[in-house]
Structure 1
Amino acid sequence: MLPIFIAIIVIVVVIALWVISTQRKLVALDENVSNSMSQIGVQLSSRFDALTALLDLTKGYAKHESETLIETIKSRRSVITAKSTPEDVLRQEGIISEALGRIAMVTEQYPELKANQTYIKTMNAVETYENMVRTSRLIYNDSVTKLNREIRMFPACLIASMLGFKQRDYLEEQPTKTDMPSMK
């Protein structure tokens, strides 16, 4: 009787350790996804700041257009956090793309603005942040892949469903993206 009791205790302990281990792995993967989304938020925020600086430069050339655009951005801008969704990110990227398209129209009308060194440096900063957002998106999607794969695999799927872990959505490329103004 004692060996059966010990065997049952060992089995229960092994199962408990496996559940704890699986839960810890799922938490780590979930945190990686949240952290990746936060990084996208930081990059988008920096990109908005560079965009605002770019709009300040255009004030001398097209004051009404730039003031209207600044107000539009301020009213539609939101902060991307770890709890944000891919749709939130796409919405913010759409706002930036729209603003860049309108800035491109202004710079086409004022070649001296396009040749301004401060404008060129600021546009380069906007492009740098764009590249950083792309990198952050790749990291986010990679983190989502790892989490989703773990959630779907047996027997971890049992623990994931019991503990409320859910698959996350990927960040997909926007179907219609306005090109950035050219620096040439």
Structure 2
Amino acid sequence: MNGLWIVLIVIIVCAVYAVSVYNGLVVLKNRVSEAWSDIEVQMKRRYDLIPNLVETVKGYAAHESGTLEKVIQARNMAMAAQGSVAKTAESENILTGTLKSLFALTENYPELKANANFMELQRELRDTEDKIQAARRFYNGNVLALNTKIELFPSNIFASMFHFEKRELFQLAENEQEARQAVQVKF
């Protein structure tokens, strides 16, 4: 009789552990989804700001239509990017590059830089960029936690049984990775 109780207790402990691991994986998967949703919300806000910014610049720099068209094309491409995180990150990095060229263009137009509407749009866009970076860090942290749990023993057994899959990190652009390198000073 004592042997039966021991077996029963072991089975119950194993079942409780299995449920705990499964629930932990579900929580992490949902956190990753929530974090990705936060990124999408901030990117949508960014997409909504860009046409207003382009229209404001267009009034002052009408002959710079090539740069303005590139910004709009990059925005449309970023909005259409669906599927993998890598594809989204690539289109977002292109959009960031075109926005940088737009802001560089404004250096030639002092009256535009003094325009209150332009300054407010630029501030909002900078704020949105900061929020995207924060959301990306939050997403990557949750992806790291999920991927680690999927790889660690014994949770990897449950992850494979219930088809939990690793997620992609939202990677930096190549030029941003180079910017993180230590600066070499030569005399």
Q: TM-score, normalised by structure 2?
A: 0.81
Matched, 1:127 2:126: yes
Q: Percent identity?
A: 26
Conserved? CA contact 1:77–1:92, under 8 Å: yes
What is the deviation of 1:48? 1.6
Matched, 1:94 2:98: no
Query: 1: distance between equivalents of 2:69 and 2:80?
Result: 21
SS of equivalent residue, structure 1 residue 176: helix
The amino acid across from 1:39 in the alignment is D
Q: TM-score, normalised by structure 1?
A: 0.82
Query: 1: distance between equivalents of 2:81 and 2:38?
Result: 9
Counterpart of 2:28 in structure 1 is 29
Q: Deviations over 1:7-42 (max 9, x none)?
A: 322222221111111100000011111111111111
Query: 1: distance between equivalents of 2:89 and 2:41?
Result: 15
Matched, 1:72 2:73: yes
Conserved? CA contact 2:86–2:171, under 8 Å: no
What is the deviation of 1:147? 1.2
Conserved? CA contact 1:37–1:80, under 8 Å: no
Counterpart of 1:182 in structure 2 is none
- Runs of 5+ unmatched residues, structure 1: 178-184
Counting matched residue pairs gives 175
- Runs of 5+ unmatched residues, structure 2: 177-187
What is the deviation of 1:89? 3.2
What is the deviation of 1:137? 1.1
What is the deviation of 1:169? 2.3
SS of equivalent residue, structure 1 residue 78: helix
Over 3 Å counting, the alpha-carbon distance change for 1:77 and 1:173 in structure 2 is closer
Q: What RMSD, in angstroms, separates the aligned Cα atoms of the two structures?
A: 2.4
